[in-house]
Every structure is written in structure tokens, then in C-alpha cells.
Structure 1
Amino acid sequence: MQENALYTITNGLYVLSVQDGEGYAGSLVDAVSQIAVSPYLIMVSCMNNSHTKSCIEKAGEFGISVLAKETDPFVVANFGYQSSRDVKKWQNIPFAEIDGLPYISDALAKIRVRVVNKLIYASNTVFIAEVVDAFDSRSGEPLTYKYYRDGFKEQVAIAFSAYKAGRSAGNAACKKSQTAMSASSSSSTAQPSSPASAEKRWTCTLCGYVYEGDIPFEELPDDWRCPLCGVGKDMFELQ
């Protein structure tokens, strides 16, 4: 099968928003489509390992921000390259809160939907949702997955690398400060070691697929590719 043929299907890029306890979760998706007009129904597909997907199942409703072509690359990186389990994504970008849900401030349109059905598959869950409201629509060209693949993804990767570098620098400064404070302590009692960090897993930075095979990731052949989006091993990071 020529999997590249699937890339000819036209998709936009969207940010989903959903309540997550006292905060918000969110993720970047490309599989969003209107499928009916009476009532207005929208189909949205989420990766099964997505924290946002789990939150949608609990909340039963969510928001959709339609991204514009001129969207800041970091917005795509922020919502597509990391998990809401680990990062409070909405604190990193400007957003508008409307009736309890956040939306990208400069989105082409904002849509609120209520889940009416779902279909579960091996890799994804498909939500069928009824449109509750649609607002703040403006003129402009939408950001498409094709535009992303044709070169915008390089800008997104650069933006994410800069973000990670800045965050790492901040963490290093924090650790240095903690070390200095510890050294100045007059206590001679040995300090207990910190608890071991959670086990890290190789994760695709493009689609979020987590490798959980029996063969160590480092021992996979060089031509091995992500089974979901098709990128190579170089697009995986230990997270």
C-alpha cells in the first residue's frame, strides 16, 4: 500500500481544549470534519494515548480552535509536541476563555461541541460531537496539514527547540541555586536521595506515538519508522 497517498487527503490543523480538573488540557489534531448539518455534527479523531482524549471522555464537551496559516509556529509545537499530562500548555500562549473553555486568541474560528457518540479503534478514538456554539469567525486562510508537511514543520521544530532550551536553562539555574543552598547548610547529616524519576519512553515528536515494543528502541533498524505517521527514528525523543 502506498501510504503517501493518504497525505493527499486535505486536513486542517486545530487545537482542542477541554477542562481538566481545575485547569485545562489541549492538543493539536488534524482529523476534524463536519459530517452533518441537521443537526450540525463534527467528527474529531484523537490518539488513544492522548491525555486530552481522556479528558474529553470525562467532560463530554470540548472546544475547537481553527488555526490560521499565520499562526505562530510555537502554538503548533506547544500543543503538538508535548502532553498535557506533563505541561500546562495553556499557560504558554495567549488565549481567550469563553464559558469555561480556552481558545487560541487569534484563531480563524472558535467552536464548542458536545459529544454524542464515539468509536474506538486500535490507535484512535473518534468523537462524534454536536455543535453547541460557533463564534469569532474571521476571514483568513486556514493552516493545513499539507502546509505543515511542506516546510512549516521545520519552523515548528525550531520553535520547540528554542522553548526546550529556555526551559532547560531555567531548570539548570534552579538546580544550581538549590545546590548552593544545600552547600551552605551547617547540617552534616547525609541527605536522603531523591526518588527515582518516572520511567522515560521513546515518543514520536510528530504524532505522539509511544514506542513500547520488546526490542530496545536503540536496537531497532535504522530504517524503522513510526507505525502511525511514518517518520524515522530521528523524530523520536526520550520523554
Structure 2
Amino acid sequence: MSVLPPVRRDRVVAQLPQPFTKEAALHTKNEFNSRVKTACQEHKTGTVGRFKISKVIVVGDLAVGKTCLINRFCKDTFDKNYKATIGVDFEMERFEVLGVPFSLQLWDTAGQERFKCIASTYYRGAQAVIIVFDVNDVASLDHTRQWLQDAMKENDPSSVLLFLVGTKKDLSSPAQYSQIEQDAVKLAEEMKAEYWAVSALSGENVREFFFRVASLSFEANVLAELEKSGSRRVGDVVRIHSNSSNVYTMSRKKQSNCCK
């Protein structure tokens, strides 16, 4: 019997959500990978949908809005009088992607320097890293490089999806935001991350962003499962072929002995 909560109706993903901007996107394709769609249709997604939980860590400076961002999506609330996260906290969100249940575990980590060592112990094993900065604070954007470096110490860069997220977009003037977006997109390209700008206060782009994270994480997990199952099949073929050769050789030997 499953102990996971049921999937809410507003957490169903039928099509690949599009990126915030094509200039800084992890993938510019419009649809899920064809192999992933076929695997979902044939119910051959391996552990994805049954036991797999995708770990997502959210990092960034103090007061950039990490907790508010998560709470806006998970609880649809906004509290401007928040209390700074001590160590780590996490939320579990259930999705249904292409008909397959999928879970994201969102780890909200402390931005204060004194809690950094505690939080960093939870970085390991992340499938996605969300690096958050305040679009009204240039220094917090500059600090994202260090947050990326800290997160990658505990993870394999080749297997982690990276997202650079600017918060508090509602507090920025169009001219001010336009300039920082140019800098953020350029930095995202250097990081090989996908850039998004959101507002936890108004909810702008928050749902779209987390649906994008869930969808790309789901796709990456299913493709990894397909690679593993493909490797097992290849191994089985080699083993069976080897055994067949041995049987054939033994048969030839018996025939040779009989003719002598």
C-alpha cells in the first residue's frame, strides 16, 4: 500500500512546459523526448512512478525569497514576515507527468553563513539545483557562482539540472529588470543553467517554473531508467549467446568422440 499522498488535479502535466526564455533554456524542444513518451504509454518507466523521488535543493543568499518561492507553490501562500530558515526544511510535491506519478522533494536551505555547513550536508544526491537571487540586488546575483560551486561539491555536474531564478520581479522597474535580466541570462549560459524570473508575492511564473522543473527532472529520470534497462538487455544477450556457443562446442565434441 502506497504511503505517498495522491496527486492533486492541478499537478497534472500532459505536455512539456515551455522555458521562460529561449536564450537561456536547458532544452528548447517543444515536446517530451519520444522515448520517454513511449515508455510512459507502455508503462515501462522502471522505478520512476513507483519508488523514485527526485531531490531538488534550493540555495541562495539570505532573504532572496527561497522559502517564499516554495511556499507560494506548495501552499499558495505568501508571508512577508517570514522567519529565516534554520538549517534546512523540505516540502514534498506530487505530480502526474504523462500519466505517471512523480514526486519532487524540495529542500529549502538556509542562506545564513553560520548555517551553511549544516545545509551543505543535505546537498548530496540532488537531481536539480535551484539557485535563487533577488533581481533587485546585484550582489545576490554575483554570489550565485559561489552557491553553484558549493552545491556541485556534493554532486556530479553531468547529472544535475541547474536553474537560476530571479525573485521579487514585482518590485523591479522595467528598466532595472531589463538590465539585470541581460546579466542573469549571460550568467545562466555560463553555468549551463536555465533562467527564470518569478514573483512569490503575485505568483507570477511560479507554477510554470516548478512544472518545468518537475517535467525536466521526470524526463531525465525516465531516460536514465531506459539506459539502465537497455544495458541489462545487452548483457543478457551476450550471456545467452555465450552459453549457446558452449552448448554447440560440447555437442561437436560428443559427435567427434562417437565417430572415433
Q: Is the strand fraction higher in 1 or 2?
A: 1
Q: Is the helix fraction higher in 1 or 2?
A: 2
Fold conserved between structures, TM > 0.5: no
Please report the TM-score for the alignment, with normalisation by the length of structure 2: 0.26
Please report the TM-score for the alignment, with normalisation by the length of structure 1: 0.28
